Amino acid sequence: MSIGAQRYFLSNDRAFSFFDWLTNIGAIFSRILGRLWSDKEVRILILGLDGAGKTTILYRLQVGEVVTTIPTIGFNVETVQYKNIKFQVWDLGGQTSIRPYWRCYYANTDAVIYVVDSVDRDRVSTAKEELMAMLEEEELKDASLLVFANKQDMAGAMTAAEVSDALGLSTLMNRQWSIYKTSAVKGEGLTEGLDWLINIMQK
């Protein structure tokens, strides 16, 4: 697995004053990078509530180890090459105040990786609401959905089947989707999910 990296961060004390900037810059980067890499990369968004493990998963896929992270205010963009396919991966912050801005990054997206904290039973209904609202967006109508039921290494974690039921995945029509149980800390289940994505993209 080879590495290419671009990183973008906003400091916590300036996050809210930059929301308008985020709206514009997301659309601009989507268009520019989409044109530059349209023939080379698969564009993926990593979404989910705050604390689900999105950034940990991103860097586990990229560097193969756990990297100390802080809550993402804004977005991270990384290129992950896996089995001769380059994934242009956008990791967006999951805080309540940031989620409305996810839609600024939907253009040209091939797939969404939706990360769920399998231990956080109290917020799984919120995770479902955000997921269903996202999937109603026109720009994502053709995007495949890969769900990671994350934190399987922790006691009390819901099974992948339980997470699937809680999210209502069986109700999704006309969309390619799958769910995998994962542990970002241990690196389990992540490559299996990417294998599924590759298979879908090559059909």
145 appears as a binding residue in the annotation: no
20 appears as a binding residue in the annotation: no
Phi, psi angle pair for 194, to nearest 5°: -65, -35
Residue tagged active-site, from 81, 95, 176, 202: 95
26 appears as a binding residue in the annotation: no
94 appears as a binding residue in the annotation: yes
Could you write out the three-class secondary structure of 27-70?
Answer: HHHHHHHHHHCCCCEEEEEEECCCCCCHHHHHHHHHHCCCCCCC
117 appears as a binding residue in the annotation: no
76 appears as a binding residue in the annotation: no
146 appears as a binding residue in the annotation: no
For the question of residue 95 being annotated catalytic, the response is yes
- Residue pair 73/30 in contact by the 8 Å Cβ criterion: no
Q: Give the residue ranges of DSSP H helices in the chain.
A: 19-36, 54-63, 124-135, 160-167, 190-201
Q: Binding site for Mg(2+): what residues are annotated?
A: 55, 72
Q: Binding site: what residues are annotated?
A: 48-55, 72, 94, 150-153
Q: Binding site for GTP: what residues are annotated?
A: 48-55, 94, 150-153
Which active-site residues does the annotation give? 95
